[in-house]
Chain A
Amino acid sequence: MDKMPKWADVILTPLISLILAMAISAIVILAIGESPWLALKTMIDGALGSSYGWGYTLYYTTNFIFTGLAVAVAYHASLFNIGGEGQAMLGGLGVALIALALPWPHWSLALPAAMVGAALFGAAWALIPAWLQARRGSHIVITTIMFNFIAAALLNYMLVNILKPAGTQDPASANFPEGAHLPQLTEMAAALGIEWGKNTPVNITFIIALIACILVWLLIWRTRLGYEIRALGRSEPAALYAGISPVRITVIAMLISGGLAGLMAINNVMGEAERLVLNAVEGAGFIGIAVALMGRNHPFGVFLAALLFGFLYQGGGELALWTSIPRELIVVIQALVILFTGALDNMVRMPLERIFLALRGKGHA
């Protein structure tokens, strides 16, 4: 089967999906008597119009890059990891345990240690579903989603019974020590004499996320492991023929995936809240699925899609703040974008493919 050109696959399809989602959102906004134009303007101003808006947009983007990469890596091995949410929760637990374990003298020591904790805990949470899939054939979609619930319950228990400082009512850990405070981009810009993004949570993790994109790209397309992951994802019989162990690769791919999801906690737990709270992940694990789908499981695509969803999150928040569009509707808009770019991807892709095939047919005639 001939397909359409790469640019149409990678850019045109998501773009049309996005426009469709926006069109339906506009109709909904019109239906409740508000101006779609004003809504769009508010969102763009709020998310991209100021360094403050950018600061928040990039903060959300960072979360989505990690969860998006997590889904993408597993996807290359043909594994659908929808447990990013739980793995990120556990990553938060790992960060909190490390950050609270020592009176860290400086963030440059705390950060690598916390990253190891986040990745290990996230990976550990992916290990059991991975093992069950590889050895027992239990479907990874079922097990990872179940593990999201177990993670939530586990975190609840840990916060209420173990991590909560005595005498407080809030189910949250103690504040992390001063030495575990990560540099905010604001502070980093200020050190260069630039005033940027005051009072925004975006921090050094954003840069780590960009590095993660590059490393994942190297992993998938430049290493033996990535080659074996992709080979297994494309054809298990062929992998066996080539001497690639499906069990080993399935487990390793899921460990990397879980580790990436866990690393998100560096951003939200260590970089922003500076303590572990309940529901710290706020659905970013699930957004990661849409991000990976929209980004075609390519790290660069994941980055762009994460940016889009960062914009939607921040812009949506602004919309609730400055217009009388209710908060619920913002969720509707976000859901529409996920629906069109993720779930309904083929609805746009298939007619588009047919158009390209027809055009090509004409070209040959």
Chain B
Amino acid sequence: MHEAVTDTGGRPATAAPNAIELRGISKAFGPVQANKDIDLRVPQGTIHGIIGENGAGKSTLMSILYGFYKPDKGEILVNGRPLTIADSLTAIKAGIGMVFQHFKLVQNFTVLENVILGAEDGRLLRPSLAKAREVLKRLAAEYQLNVDPDETIDELSVGHQQRVEILKALYRQADILILDEPTGVLTPAEADHLFRILEGLKAEGKTIILITHKLREIMEITDNVSVMRRGEMVASVKTAETSPEELAELMVGRKVLLNVEKAPARPGEKILEVRDLTLVDDEGVERLRGISFDIRAGEILGIAGVSGNGQTQLLELLGGFPEKGSKSGGTIRMNGQELDLTGTMSDASTRRARGIGHVPEDRQAEGLIMDFTAWENTAFGYHRAPEFNRGLLMDNAAIRADAETKMEHFDVRPRNPNLAARNFSGGNQQKLVVAREIERNPDLLLIGQPTRGVDIGAIEFIHKRIIELRDAGKAVLLVSVELDEILSLSDRIAVMFDGRIMGERLPGETTTGELGLLMAGITDTAHADASEGIPPEHKHVDEVSGERG
């Protein structure tokens, strides 16, 4: 290794040169600025955490580092030397290894075959395999990376598969290892083992970049941590000098985007009662671990949480379309009547008939058929309703007239029902979905990420409509990863983490810091500073920011 480099001002003083240095990296996808002027310095031989909510731009940044995307602007230095990383081969040659969240392994190959795949030394496999076997034996001894080299991948547990990914990188002589959400798929014991492996690698002088949204991991294992929020690097600090509270705060931000006028809720009858809801997906992962809550008429229950903690599964299960092959338990009562959870009456159209409207999280994949016209979409899910049909045929004229009304009520632009859904902007697409669901006047509205990728004007509009629905005495279940949205709309807030509800709070009596900790799975929030709680009524419009587009 090199001698210590003199500090050039502004950099954290380190004994070794930076393994990775990014200067002013920017990357936009169309109008979305995924990375904005990112600076990052990762000293050699350290574990560096990158933390941020989903969609903060972490994965884009790492994909740039691994040559999957070309940055629009900016410079990358690897071990002090500027490098243009045009493809992953360049990255591998520069000693960068990547362990993806979704493994890239050939399922019916052995561990050994996977390790040499793409790194074979010659036309014949036998010498490479023999060499790899030796290397693997050494690596296993050095880093506790024990995996049977002759086992095929589909025989291995997820934790072991991840080790194979790490072995692959090490076999290619990576000394900078990037792990993208490595513990998302691991059991706590497997995660602990992974951390021991990472500690071992660090002791050998390897540099590790850990991308995660879990605060516990950051605090436990990293030397430095950088926080990303909405495409920007908002802070880089030494882990020893920070606290989970501060990181949670930095991660979710405290910016209050919108002013929502709303009167106090007047809760009425119980509309929805959920008890001990569980769901195991087809890979055997427990996605919901006993969820219970009630929603009354005239109130909005907000579910906060980093995405991927079971909110999607909860919405889909309530909406009547849980993932194929998943098994669920528990009870759902709607207006006092128990809903069929798994039988023939558990599909989405039965749920609609029971008075449940649903604005799904992913409007482009689920809420709309992008190739259908706007008018075809405004009947979607309700296309069997008698008013849209005339005998055997659909009453297209009636559907079109209804679409025109909905588009007018929700100010969808352009107001052309014959235009395909894909030709509308994100905000107007969302208005189409929200219009369709709210105009049916459901007793309960499930609404997931109502304003994801929606422009500021439409956000305000959609928020108003949700509150109007509440004031009309309907129940609303709001799921959002935007904390400020949860804070300003909800009458009660439940925080989900790892398939559980970590706690319920009232929006006027909590802080983003406290919610952030709950979102990270830390229930001991007594010491979070409660003085920062801002009641939604007091938020100001002048804090509106236009960066969400």
Co-complex (A, B): yes
**B348 CB within 8 Å of chain A:** yes
Interface residues of B in 394-452 (CB under 8 A from A): 394, 396
Contact partners of A235 in chain B: CB under 8 A: 365-366, 369-370
Q: Given A227-B376, A234-B372, A235-B369 in contact, is the A241-B384 Cβ separation under 8 Å?
A: no
Please tell me if the beta carbons of B393 and A218 are within 8 angstroms of each other in the complex.
yes
- Which B residues touch A244, using CB under 8 A? 349
Contact in complex: A234, B347 (CB < 8 Å): no
Find the B residue at minimum CB distance from A227.
B383
Chain B residues closer than 8 Å to A363, beta-carbon distance = none
- A241 and B358 contact, CB distance less than 8 A: yes
Contact with A along B349-388 (1 / 0, CB 8 A): 1111000001010100111111110001000110110000
Tell me if B347 and A243 are in contact (CB < 8 A): yes
The one of A230, A231, A241, A245 in contact with B367, judged by C-beta atoms closer than 8 angstroms, is A241
A223 engages B365 (CB within 8 Å)? no
Assess whether B392 is interfacial by the CB under 8 Å rule.
yes
**A224 is an interface residue with CB less than 8 A from chain B:** yes
A238 engages B348 (CB within 8 Å): no
Q: Does A240 count as interface, using CB distance less than 8 angstroms?
A: yes
Assuming the A-B contacts A234-B369, A234-B372, A235-B365, are A241 and B348 also in contact, with contact meaning beta carbons closer than 8 angstroms in the complex?
yes
How far is it, in angstroms, between the C-alpha of A230 and the C-alpha of B376 when the chains are bound? Answer: 11
A207-245 Cβ-contact flags toward B at 8 Å (1 or 0): 000000000001000111001101100110110111111
- For residue B351, which residues in chain A have a CB less than 8 angstroms away from its CB? 243
Residues of B within 8 A of A245 (CB): 347
Nearest CB of B to A179, in Å: 33
Which chain A positions have C-beta within 8 A of B362? 237
Residues A243-281 near B (CB distance < 8 A): 243-245
Contacts of A243 in B (CB 8 A): 320-321, 347-352, 381
Q: Is the CB of A234 within 8 A of B371?
A: yes
CA distance A235 to B365 in the complex (A): 7
Known: A224-B389, A245-B347. A238 touches B320 (CB 8 A): no
What is the number of contacts between chain A and chain B, taking CB atoms within 8 Å? 64
Minimal beta-carbon separation of A236 from chain B (angstroms): 9
Q: How many residues of A contact B (CB 8 A)?
A: 18
Q: Which of B319, B350, B352, B394 contacts A227 (CB 8 A)?
A: B394
Please, what's the 1-or-0 string for A185-205, where 1 marks a CB less than 8 Å from any CB in chain B? 000000000000000000000
Q: Which residues of B contact A234 (CB under 8 A)?
A: 369-372
B57 CB to closest chain A CB (Å) equals 24
B-chain residues with CB within 8 Å of residue A224 when the two chains form the complex: 383-384, 389, 394
Nearest CB on A from B379, distance (A): 8
Per the bound structure, the CA–CA distance linking A223 and B390 in Å amounts to 10
Chain A residues whose CB sits within 8 angstroms of the CB of B352 once the complex forms: 243
From B348, B350, B393, A242 is in contact (CB under 8 Å) with B348
Docked complex Cα distance between A241 and B315 (Å): 11
> Which A residues are in CB contact (< 8 Å) with B370?
234-235
Interface residues in A112-136 by Cβ distance below 8 A to B read none
Compute how far the CA of A82 lies from the CA of B321 in the bound complex, rounded to whole angstroms: 31
Neighbour of A230 across the interface among B350, B366, B372, CB < 8 A: B372
The answer on a CB contact under 8 Å between B396 and A222 is yes
- Docked-complex contact B376 and A223, CB < 8 angstroms: no
Cα A20 to Cα B440 with chains together (Å) = 53
The answer, among B319, B349, B368, B384, for a CB contact under 8 Å with A238, is B368
Q: Mark B320-343, 1 if CB is under 8 A from A, else 0.
A: 110000000000000000000000
Complex Cα distance, B372 from A243, in Å, reads: 17
Per-residue CB proximity of A67-96 to B under 8 Å, as 1/0?
000000000000000000000000000000
In the complex, what distance in Å separates the CA atom of A336 from the CA atom of B49? 59
* Structural contact, A238 and B365, CB atoms closer than 8 A: yes
Determine how close the nearest CB of chain A comes to the CB of B400; give it in whole angstroms.
13
Contacts of A218 in B (CB 8 A): 393
A-chain residues with CB within 8 Å of residue B396 when the two chains form the complex: 222
Contact B348 A231 (CB under 8 A): no
User: By the criterion CB–CB under 8 Å, are A242 and B392 in contact?
Assistant: no
B424 to chain A, nearest CB (A): 14
Contact A242 B372 (CB under 8 A): no
Q: What is the bound-complex CA distance between A134 and B235, given in angstroms?
A: 51
B residues less than 8 Å from A223 (CB atoms): 392-394
7 residue pairs of the A-B complex, CB under 8 angstroms, read: A234-B370, A238-B365, A238-B367, A238-B368, A238-B380, A243-B321, A243-B350
Q: Which 9 interchain pairs have the tightest Cβ spacing?
A: A243-B349, A243-B348, A242-B381, A240-B321, A241-B366, A234-B369, A222-B393, A237-B366, A237-B365
Name B's A-contacting residues (CB within 8 A): 319-321, 347-352, 358, 360, 362, 365-372, 376, 380-381, 383-384, 389, 392-394, 396
